[in-house]
Amino acid sequence: MLTTLRNLLDRLILGISSLALMLLVVTVTWQVFSRYVLNDPSNWTDELSRYIMVWLGLLGGSYLFGAKGHLAITLLDNYLKGKSHIALQLLINAICFSFVSLAMLKGGLALMERTTQQLSPALQLPMSTVYSILPISAVIILIYLALNTLDLFKNRAV
Closest CA to 17 of 68, 53, 50, 65: 53
In three state form, how does the secondary structure of the chain look?
A: CHHHHHHHHHHHHHHHHHHHHHHHHHHHHHHHHHHHCCCCCCHHHHHHHHHHHHHHHHHHHHHHHHHCCCCCCCHHHHHCCHHHHHHHHHHHHHHHHHHHHHHHHHHHHHHHHHCCCCECCCCCCEHHHHHCHHHHHHHHHHHHHHHHHHHHHHCCCC
Q: Which domain holds residue 43?
A: 2-154
Query: What is the pLDDT, as a whole number, of residue 45?
Result: 92
Query: What is the pLDDT, as a whole number, of residue 155?
Result: 65
Q: How confident is the model at residue 1 (pLDDT cuts 50, 70, 90)?
A: confident
Amino acid of residue 157? A
Query: What is the pLDDT, as a whole number, of residue 158?
Result: 41
Query: What is the pLDDT, as a whole number, of residue 157?
Result: 46
Give me the chain's average pLDDT, please. 92
Full-model pTM? 0.89
Range of weakest confidence among 1-5, 8-12, 59-63, 121-125: 1-5
Whether 146 and 101 have beta carbons less than 8 Å apart is answered as: no
The pLDDT of 81-107, averaged and rounded, is 93
